[in-house]
Copies of this chain bind each other. A is one copy, B any other.
Amino acid sequence: MKNILIGQSGGPSVAINSSLAGVIKKGTQSVEIGTVYGARNGITGVINDNIVDLSTIASDDKIKILKQTPAMALGSCRYKLPPFQESSRQIYMQIEETLKKYDIGCFFYIGGNDSMDTVAKLDCFFKERKLDIKAIGIPKTIDNDLPVTDHTPGFGSSAKYLFNTVSEIICDSEIYPVKNVVIVEIMGRSAGWLTLAAGLPKILGGDSPQIIALPEVSFSQEEFISTIKKELTTKNTVVAVVSEGIKYASGEYVGMATKNGETDIFGHSYLSGVGKYLEMLVKDKIGCKVRSIELNVMQRCSSHLAALADIDEAFEIGVKAVEAALSGQSGVTLCFNRISDAPYEYSITTTDVNNIANKEKNVPPSWFDYNDPKVQKEIANYLLPLIKGNVIPIVNEQTGLPLYLKI
Interface residues of A, Cβ cutoff 8 Å to B: 12, 40-41, 44, 69-72, 75-78, 160, 163-165, 167-169, 171-177, 200-201, 204, 291, 293-298, 300-305, 380, 384, 387-388, 390, 393, 398-402, 404
Residues of B close to A388: CB separation below 8 A: 400
Q: Which of B40, B165, B303 touches A168 (beta carbons < 8 Å)?
A: B303
Query: Is A387's CB under 8 angstroms from B400's CB?
Result: yes
Residues of B close to A398: CB separation below 8 A: 384
Q: Residue of B at shortest CB range from A176? A: B76
A165 to B354, CA, bound (A): 37
Give the number of times this chain occurs in the complex, counting copies. Answer: 2
Residues of B close to A171: CB separation below 8 A: 12, 69-71, 301, 404
Given contacts A12-B175, A172-B301, A175-B71, contact A167 B401 (CB under 8 A): yes
A77 to B177, CA, bound (A): 8
Q: Which of A168, A380, A404 has the most CB of B within 10 A?
A: A168
Q: Residue of B at shortest CB range from A174? A: B71
Q: Which of B160, B291, B298 touches A298 (beta carbons < 8 Å)?
A: B298
A376 to B78, CA, bound (A): 37
Query: Is A172's CB under 8 angstroms from B384's CB?
Result: no
Residues of B close to A77: CB separation below 8 A: 176-177
Residues of B close to A304: CB separation below 8 A: 164, 168, 304-305
Residues of B close to A201: CB separation below 8 A: 401
Query: Is B400's CB under 8 angstroms from A41's CB?
Result: no
A172 to B298, CA, bound (A): 9
Query: Is A75's CB under 8 angstroms from B302's CB?
Result: no
Query: Is A75's CB under 8 angstroms from B401's CB?
Result: no
Given contacts A176-B78, A297-B172, contact A402 B302 (CB under 8 A): no
Q: Can you name 26 A-B pairs with beta carbons within 8 Å?
A: A12-B171, A12-B172, A71-B171, A71-B172, A72-B175, A75-B174, A75-B176, A75-B177, A160-B400, A163-B401, A164-B304, A165-B302, A167-B401, A168-B302, A168-B304, A169-B298, A172-B301, A200-B401, A201-B401, A204-B401, A291-B297, A293-B297, A293-B298, A294-B294, A298-B298, A384-B399
Within the complex, the shortest CB–CB distance from A68 to chain B, in Å, comes to 11
Residues of B close to A177: CB separation below 8 A: 40-41, 44, 75, 77
A35 to B231, CA, bound (A): 36
Query: Is A163's CB under 8 angstroms from B400's CB?
Result: yes
A401 to B202, CA, bound (A): 11
A294 to B387, CA, bound (A): 26
Q: Residue of B at shortest CB range from A76? A: B175
Residues of B close to A169: CB separation below 8 A: 297-298, 301
Query: Is A301's CB under 8 angstroms from B168's CB?
Result: yes
6 closest cross-chain pairs (CB), A and B: A172-B301, A71-B171, A76-B175, A168-B301, A72-B175, A71-B172
A291 to B294, CA, bound (A): 12
Residues of B close to A293: CB separation below 8 A: 296-298
Within the complex, the shortest CB–CB distance from A240 to chain B, in Å, comes to 15
Q: Residue of B at shortest CB range from A50? A: B177
Q: Which of B70, B301, B384, B402 touches A400 (beta carbons < 8 Å)?
A: B384
A201 to B399, CA, bound (A): 10
A291 to B41, CA, bound (A): 20
Residues of B close to A173: CB separation below 8 A: 297
Within the complex, the shortest CB–CB distance from A261 to chain B, in Å, comes to 16
Q: Residue of B at shortest CB range from A292? A: B296
Residues of B close to A165: CB separation below 8 A: 298, 302
Within the complex, the shortest CB–CB distance from A337 to chain B, in Å, comes to 23
Query: Is B300's CB under 8 angstroms from A172's CB?
Result: yes
Q: Which of A163, A294, A298 has the most CB of B within 10 A?
A: A298
Residues of B close to A401: CB separation below 8 A: 163, 167, 200-201, 204
Query: Is A164's CB under 8 angstroms from B402's CB?
Result: yes
Within the complex, the shortest CB–CB distance from A238 to chain B, in Å, comes to 16
